[in-house]
Amino acid sequence: MKTAIVTGATSGIGQAVAELLIARSYRVIGTSRNSGAVVDPIPGVDYRDLDLTDSSSIRAFVDGIGDLEVDVLINNAGESQCGPLEELPIDAITRLFQLNVFGAVELTQAVLPGMRERRRGKIVNIGSMLASFPLAYRSSYAATKAAIKGFSTAARFELEPYGIDITTVEPGSIDTGLSARRTKYCGPHSPYLRDFTTVIAKLDAKEAEGITAETVATTVLRAVEDKKTLPIYAVGSNAPAVFLAQRLLPRTVLEKFTARAYGLPSKRPSN
């Protein structure tokens, strides 16, 4: 039986991935900040505590696994935030990077020696299409997803000789209820407030009509079970068409399309 670790396995994409892997006869270790408080546990999932913002928690989790052979690692746990770059608190940005990037990297580093020795392993990082198509007021979140994508894309060259595949799954708009949990930083007297409110309202509406967590999980399973893993798997938000447009159209044209789609002004305000 193959063993898979799924971080953030108690809701959304992580929960859906854990369910699929259980159905495929994987042994699944699902992580949560408080595994004892899981409301709707999936039968067969081994829930364990893990706080990716705390290196001691990561070490305790890895020590708890012991000599268990990890075949698959799904780096899914993460948070979302939004706000004008000017108003994002540095400590909030730091925490977001620790959770979405540094914690995932540290956990990956912990499982790689065993995978390398066995000359097999799959690592799937859950990114976002915002890494490829950034959006106003999502700079910090997009930056974390671009960072984890960068780690994946570059490390592929290092790990391939050892039989290890690493990839990124980039969902587009997805209906997981994340919009309600997204941390917002924009003051009531902010000069950005009108545009911020417009963009986030349109973003929330798109997510409400987005693909399901189960659809993303199916793509994750494909990444896990493909004999030759692709560098990126994009799903949702008309991914094939928009990635084609990215290759064919100038960046300035894409920026204008994005601004129009989210209600941003096409001209810069005068001083």
Q: What is the H or E stretch that residue 113 is in?
A: helix 103-118
Q: Name the catalytic one among 26, 47, 137, 141.
A: 141
Specify burial of residue 70 (Cβ count, 10 A radius: 0-12, 13-18, 19+): buried
State yes or no: is 141 an active-site residue: yes
One-letter amino acid at 107 equals: L
DSSP percent split of the chain into helix, strand, coil, nearest 5: 50, 15, 35
Say if residues 193 and 137 touch (Cβ distance below 8 Å).
Answer: no
Report helix, strand or coil for 122.
Answer: strand
CA distance 220 to 230: 11
Angle, vertex CA 80, rays to CA 112 and CA 93, nearest 5: 80
Question: Catalytic positions, please?
Answer: 141
